[in-house]
Each structure stands twice: as structure tokens, then as C-alpha cells.
Amino acid sequence: MKIATFNIRCDYGQDGDNNFRYRKPLILEKLAEEKPDIVCFQEVLPHVAAWLKEALTGYYVIGCGRSETLEDEQAAIAYRRDAFNLIQMETYWLSDTPYVPASRYPDQSICPRVTTEAVFEELATKRVFRVVNTHLDHEGAGAREQGMRQIMEKLGRAALFADTPVVITGDMNAEPDSREMGIIREYPSYTNVTEGIGITYHGYLRTEAPCSIDYIFVKGFACEKVEKWEDERGGVFLSDHYPVCAVLRP
């Protein structure tokens, strides 16, 4: 199974030559070339979600926005419609009240944060697995720590297919040696297959400091290969993050 985490960059008409409308062809070409089975997107605004659903004809795209009206950014999951059956899906908010839309932790930014969790059946093998896609807060380290612990504790309480393999993906807005990322190291059954991948946020190589904040963690899978998609054409990138793709096997 080939799975990617891809912060597609919120599109408000910014970024000059790297405006979303200029990145679209490169994104579609890369996805057609790589043919990932599952792509976990972050920063997907409603019109970008609509574009993904229209453009990615071989995929279903699931998720909802983080606001009270289910608009704004979402952590969407695109999966091959001919390869997987969706058994269960939910969106929950990273907060003390995870099923209250737009809720958030007290020390968080003004941005609510959501996690999209889905259980899939691989049609060819009948194997069942879980995918968790998230985007932790960009300002509050405490909120990131609480959010990561919330995700891990919720996985520990799973009622349906509790022992099934798991993939956790996302933009965690935290470096590998941070306190918040240390939480997942408390769960030794999970492996960071992106360890040592290097810089994932590059900001179009402009003024922002580059950092390593995009991850894929797995439980019950082995990783055959992991790589960053560093495609660039005439100064236009896939996003301000390098998408990261892993090839997994049971």
C-alpha cells in the first residue's frame, strides 16, 4: 500500500507564482505518476475539497471542515475507490469536547483542529486497517501535546477492529525531538517511518525557517520505502511542504 501525507497549503489567493491555481497541474501530474492508494491531505479549504473530488476521478475524498458550519480547512483522506471499502469514518475536534464542532483547547490558536479517522477494508486481501489524519496547532505547544495525547488515547479505546493495523499521518507542527512528539514514543508499537526524512516544510524556499514537521507513523505495518516528493518546475512546487510517501506492507 502506498500512502502519502500532503499539506496542500490553504488557498486564499496568496503565494504569487506558487498560487494554488499554478500548482494544480503539478499536483495532478504527481498523483498520476505515483498512483498512491491513499493520500492524507491537510489545509483543504472547501473549494479545494471540491476540486479534489472532481479532479481525482479514481478516488473518493472524505472529511469535513473544522468550523461550526463544517467549512474552513479539513484534514481530508482520498482513497482509491477500486481498492478499498470504507467501513467507518468520523471527524472529531482536538479539544476537551471532541464532538462539539469548532471546539479547541484553551491554550490553542484561534484555529480549531480536526482529525479524520477512517477504517478501511482492502478489497483484494480483505485486510482491515485504520487511518488517522490530523493537523496539530501551529501556535500552542501545549495544545499540540494535548491533541497528540487525545489521538493516542482514543486509538486505545477503539471499539471496532480495536487490534487492526494503524497509520497516523499529518502535519504536527512540531520537530521530532519536541515534547509533543515524545508522546507517541510512549507507545512502542508505533514506528515513525519518516524518521530521518529531513526538512518537510520549506515555505517555497523563501524567508521562513525550514523544519521537519510532517509524519507517518504505523502500527502493524512494515515500511518498504519512504520518500519526499520534492518536485519543482520553474520555481513552482507541489506545496509549501514536501509531501511524504511511504510504501507499506503487512
Residue 226 is part of a domain; what is its CATH number?
A: 3.60.10.10
pLDDT, tens digit (0-9, with 9 covering 90-100), for 143-165: 999 999 999 999 999 999 999 99
What pLDDT does 117 receive?
98
Which residues of the chain fall below pLDDT 50?
Answer: none
Backbone region of residue 197 per phi and psi (left: phi > 0; alpha: psi in -120 to 50; beta: other values): alpha
Cell of 86: 470504507
The Cα–Cα gap between 3 and 26 comes to 18
The Cα–Cα gap between 82 and 87 comes to 14
The count of other CB atoms within 10 Å of the CB of residue 70 is 15
**pTM confidence score:** 0.97
- Give the dihedral sign, CA 168/169/175/179: negative
Q: How many domains does the chain have?
A: 1
Burial code (b: 16+ CB inside 10 Å, e: under 16) for 217-242 equals bbbbbebeebebbebeeeebbbbbbb
Beta bridge partners of residue 232, listed in sequence order: 237
Side-chain half-sphere exposure of 34, counting CA atoms within 13 A: 26
What pLDDT does 207 receive?
67
What pLDDT does 105 receive?
97
What pLDDT does 205 receive?
85
The pLDDT mean for the chain works out to: 97
pLDDT, tens digit (0-9, with 9 covering 90-100), for 189-224: 999 999 999 999 999 987 667 899 999 999 999 999
Range of the domain at 222: 2-249
